[in-house]
Structure 1
C-alpha cells in the first residue's frame, strides 16, 4: 500500500485513454483533489520557467531593490521556502486524489508491469494510454546492435582549426560566441525546445497524438540515443494494408522544422500519400529530452534510423527521408550515413544557416554571427546533401518568407543555392558561368509559365537531353560526379542544366508554414528509372 501511495504521489500525469475499433477514446477525468492540486503544480512550473528565461532582468531588478544583502537574501529564502512548501503540499494532495481514482490506479499497475517485466503484452496495454513521456519505458537503445560502437559516423565538416596565436587573439570573441549561442541563439534557431512553447501547444500535441493513435493505429516508442537522450517517436505501419495503401512497403522518416512536432507536423503529408511513416521529435522537443545541438541531432536521427531498420524491419532501400525546413539538417545527416536509402525529399530547406542568420541580425554583428554559427551550429545542409549519392527532390515555396534573405524576393530563397550547389557537385562540367547565370534567371521567376518560356527560348528538348545523358551513362555510369560536358557546346550545357533543375526542383505556390499537400509529395526523379522508361518507349 505504501508503495502505491508513493507511486501515486510521484507518478506521471495521465492525459487520455485511447480508443480502438468500437471502443471510444476519452480524456482522463481527474477528480477534484487531483485537478485543483495539479493546477497549483502547473502554475508553479510555469512561473519557474518564466523566471528562468527572465532571470537576468529579475536579478537586476532585485539588485536595484536592495535584495542582495543579508536581510534581502533572507527574505528571498523565506519566499522560496513558502513556494516549496506549497508545491510539496500540492503534490501530496494530488497523490491522494489519484489514489482514490480507480482509473489512475489501473494505469499505474499497467505502467509498473511494463516497466518491470518489459513484456510485449504489457507494452501493448500501456500503449492504450497517453501520459507524461518521461515515465514511458525505453523500447529501443542505440547499443542493442553488436559492434555498433565501432560504426563510423559522418558529421558535418567543422570550421577550419585555428592556430594558438589566432585562438588567443580570438578568445574574447569566443566567449561572446559561447554566450550568444547558449542564451538566446540556440532558442532562436530551435524555438520548439522552449518549454513555454511546448506548454502553449500542449493541447494541440495531445490531439495530434490521439489522431495518430486512434485513426491511424500509430505506435509510440521511446528510443535511447548514444548521448542518453530519450527520443519520442510515432510509427504508422501500412505494410499489411495493400488493398488500401499501395505505398505501404515504403517507410517515410520525417524530420520536423525548428518549431515542428510530429504530432502536428509534416507526418500528415506522407500519411495522406499512403506510405508507412515514422515521425520523431528533436531533442528537447515535447517528449524528447536534451538540447538540439548538432551532435545531439546526429545521435537522435541515427537511433531513429537504427530503430526503423532493426526493430521495425524495413530494408534500407525501402526508406525515404522527408524533411521540412531546418529538418533538412537531420535528414541529410541520416542520408550521408545511410547512403543506400531509397530517396531524400527536402521541403522548404536551405543550403546553409549562416546567410540566413546574418540576414536576421544587425549588420554590425556579422563577424560574431559567422563565428558563432560555424563553431556551434554549423548547419551546412548543402555540404551534407552532396555526400548522398541517391535520388533527391527539392521543394521550393515560391512565397517563402523564412528562408529568403530578402522577404518577397524569390531569387534570395536559399533553396535556390541548395539546388545550385547540388548540381555543381553532381554535374561540375555542366555548371559553367553561363549555365549558372541562365539557371539563376530561371530560379528568379515566380511561376512555372515564365520558367517554361525561358526553356522554350533555349529550344530545350527533353528527349534530346535524355539521349545525351543516356549516352554518357552507357559509356560510364550513373555514379556522381558525372563528368559530362567536355564535348558539349555552350547552349547544350545550358539546356541540360535547366532540364536537370526541373527534375530536381519542384515549386509549391505557398508560404513557408503551409502544410505540404500529398499531391506535391512525390518520390524523386532518377536517371536509372528514367532510362528504363525511355528504353521501353523506344
Structure 2
C-alpha cells in the first residue's frame, strides 16, 4: 500500500462496512448504535460493479477453460492468423478495465469515508501499535490488505522442520518391484493423471468452499456474519502467517472477563468443507458461553492458499501457537471442536499437541477413501485410491489414536454425507468406524470379537429406545464399569492402550464395551448440515 496517494485509491482495498465503535461516527456526524455498510458514490459504485463482473467472468472462464479451449480448437480459432487479432482484443479490454479502475479511484478520493479509512490503514501499516489496530478493526475490507497480527516465526516451535514446515507423516513406500525403474515408467501416466485430478476438480470437489464463485455468492451472508461477531460479540479479527506463507483469517471472541465458568476455556473450531467461521460451527460454543477461536481453511474467505492436507496442518499449527503465545491460553485450557471434514485438522492438532484438554468431533469420519470411492465409478478405484493416499490422505482415525485425552464423537443419525450407502442405513455411517478404531486401540482386550459385536449392535440401534433395550439386555452396570476402569487406572498409571479386560468373562467385556461406546459417542437425531445446538455440546467423558 505504501506509495503515491493516487496509488492508494487506485489499488486500495474494497471497503465493505464500518463496524460500531466508540471512536467511530457516521458520515453525517451522528453517534452510531450499530455498524453501517459502506456507501460508495455513483462513480465508484458503477466502476466497482464493472470490475466485479469482469472478475466473475474471469473466474467462470478459468473453470470452464478446458471445455472452451476444446471448442475453439474444433472451430479452428486457435491458429496464428486469428491469435493476433484476439490478443489485440484482449489488450483493448485490459486498457478499458484500467480506465474503469482509475474512475473508481477518483470516486474513492472524493468520498470522505473512504479517505478516512485509507488514512487509518496507512498509519497502521507504518506504526503497528494497538491504538491504530483498534481503529482499523472498525472496518471490514479486503483481508489481503490487513496487516499481519501474528507470525509463526515469533515463537520457537519444535514441531517444525528445518525448512519451517510442520511435516505430515508420509505414506510408507514398499521395496521390491514397486521401486523398479520399469514399474515407475509404467505407472507414470497414472501419476500424472492423479496429480492433475487432485489439483483441478478433485480439490474443489473435496473443498467446494474454496471455489471463488461460491464465495462470491455467499459474500453477503459472510459479511453479515462478520458484522455480528465484531459488533455484537466484540470479536477480534486477526491475520496469522503460517510457516508455508499462507495468511490465515481468524476470529477470536474473548469471554474470560465475563466471569462465567466456560469463559476460561478456549474452544478452537475447525469448519467443514464448505464452512466459514462467519456462519459456521463457531456459534455452538459461543451460545454456551465459551471463549472461541475460529479460522478459515486456506483458500476460504480471507485465508490464502489451497486446502491440501499439509497446508491445513500448517494453518492449524499457527492457530494453536496464536492461542497460546498471543491470546494467553494454556494448552490444558483448550478444547478443539470440529465439524465434518474439520476432523482432520482437529485430530492433527491433538496428535501434535497432546496436552490439549479435550476433543469434540461432530459428524466426522475415520478415513476419506471409502467416501471418495462411493462417489466415483468402480473402474476408477485404483486411480482414486492412489490420488487420495498421495494428495488428500485425511486419515482421521490414525491421527486420533495417537491422542491420550478425552474424546467425544457426535453422530448424526440421519447423516446423508458421510455414509457409504444412504442416510436410511445408520450402520454405513463412517462415524461408526471412527468409534470402533478408537475403542479397539485404547481397549484392545475389551474390544475382542464379542466386544466389537455388541458395539456394532448398539451402533445399529435406530432410536434411544432400542439403545436402552440393548443396554438392559446385557445388564450393563455403569457403577461396576466405572469401578473396573478406575481400579485399572489407579494400579497401572499407563497410557493407552490398556490391558483392562484381559482376564474378564465375555459378559463382562460386552458390558464394558457398551458402556465405553455410550461414553465416547452421543447420537443427535438430524442430518449432516443441521447446526449443532449448544445443549448438545458437552465436555467429553473422562475417568
Would you say same fold, with TM above 0.5?
Answer: yes
1:266 equivalent in structure 2 = 281
* CA positional deviation for 1:246: 2.7
Out of 180, 188, 192, the residue aligned to residue 209 of structure 2 is: 192
8 Å CA contact 2:420–2:429 kept in 1: the answer is yes
2:184 matches 1:183: no
* CA positional deviation for 1:220: 0.1
In structure 2, distance between residues paired with 1:71 and 1:118: 55
2:226 equivalent in structure 1 = 209
Secondary structure at 1:170 match in 2: helix
1:47 equivalent in structure 2 = 57
Out of 249, 258, 276, the residue aligned to residue 264 of structure 2 is: 249
1:414 equivalent in structure 2 = 430
In structure 1, distance between residues paired with 2:365 and 2:107: 50
* CA positional deviation for 1:411: 0.3
2:504 matches 1:504: no
2:81 equivalent in structure 1 = 71
Secondary structure at 1:199 match in 2: helix
Out of 29, 33, 40, the residue aligned to residue 43 of structure 2 is: 33
2:363 equivalent in structure 1 = 348
Secondary structure at 2:256 match in 1: coil
2:397 matches 1:382: yes
1:118 equivalent in structure 2 = 128
Out of 488, 497, 518, the residue aligned to residue 534 of structure 2 is: 518
2:415 equivalent in structure 1 = 400
* CA positional deviation for 1:398: 0.3
1:127 equivalent in structure 2 = 137
Matches within 5 A, 1:328-367: 328-367=343-382
2:244 matches 1:227: yes
1:536 equivalent in structure 2 = none
Q: Deviations over 1:136-192 (max 9, x none)?
A: 000000010136556895624524355234433322211121121111101101111
In structure 1, distance between residues paired with 2:169 and 2:273: 18
Out of 69, 82, 86, the residue aligned to residue 92 of structure 2 is: 82
Secondary structure at 1:345 match in 2: strand
Secondary structure at 2:534 match in 1: coil
Between the two proteins, the alignment pairs up a number of residues equal to: 525
* CA positional deviation for 1:375: 0.6
2:477 matches 1:467: no
Matches within 5 A, 1:298-313: 298-313=313-328
Q: Deviations over 1:175-211 (max 9, x none)?
A: 1211211111011011111111111101100000000
1:445 equivalent in structure 2 = 461
In structure 2, distance between residues paired with 1:431 and 1:215: 48
2:171 equivalent in structure 1 = 158
2:117 equivalent in structure 1 = 107
In structure 2, distance between residues paired with 1:343 and 1:167: 44
8 Å CA contact 1:336–1:387 kept in 2: the answer is yes
In structure 1, distance between residues paired with 2:120 and 2:491: 63
TM-score when normalising by structure 1 = 0.95
Q: Deviations over 1:285-304 (max 9, x none)?
A: 01000000111011100000
Unaligned runs of 5+ in 1: 528-538
Out of 503, 510, 518, the residue aligned to residue 487 of structure 1 is: 503
1:530 equivalent in structure 2 = none
In structure 1, distance between residues paired with 2:114 and 2:335: 40
In structure 1, distance between residues paired with 2:430 and 2:79: 53
In structure 2, distance between residues paired with 1:356 and 1:239: 40
Secondary structure at 1:262 match in 2: coil
In structure 1, distance between residues paired with 2:311 and 2:417: 24
8 Å CA contact 1:159–1:374 kept in 2: the answer is no
8 Å CA contact 2:364–2:430 kept in 1: the answer is yes
8 Å CA contact 2:161–2:167 kept in 1: the answer is no
8 Å CA contact 1:333–1:384 kept in 2: the answer is yes
Q: Say what the alpha-carbon RMSD is for the aligned residues.
A: 1.5
8 Å CA contact 2:236–2:253 kept in 1: the answer is yes
1:17 equivalent in structure 2 = 18
TM-score when normalising by structure 2 = 0.94
8 Å CA contact 1:17–1:128 kept in 2: the answer is yes
In structure 2, distance between residues paired with 1:49 and 1:102: 32
Secondary structure at 1:326 match in 2: helix
2:149 matches 1:139: yes
In structure 2, distance between residues paired with 1:82 and 1:431: 70
Distance 1:156-1:446 versus aligned 2 partners, 3 A rule:
farther
8 Å CA contact 1:156–1:379 kept in 2: the answer is no
Secondary structure at 2:281 match in 1: coil
* CA positional deviation for 1:68: 1.1
Q: Deviations over 1:407-443 (max 9, x none)?
A: 1211000000000000011001111112111211110
Distance 1:150-1:359 versus aligned 2 partners, 3 A rule:
closer
* CA positional deviation for 1:23: 3.4
1:61 equivalent in structure 2 = 71
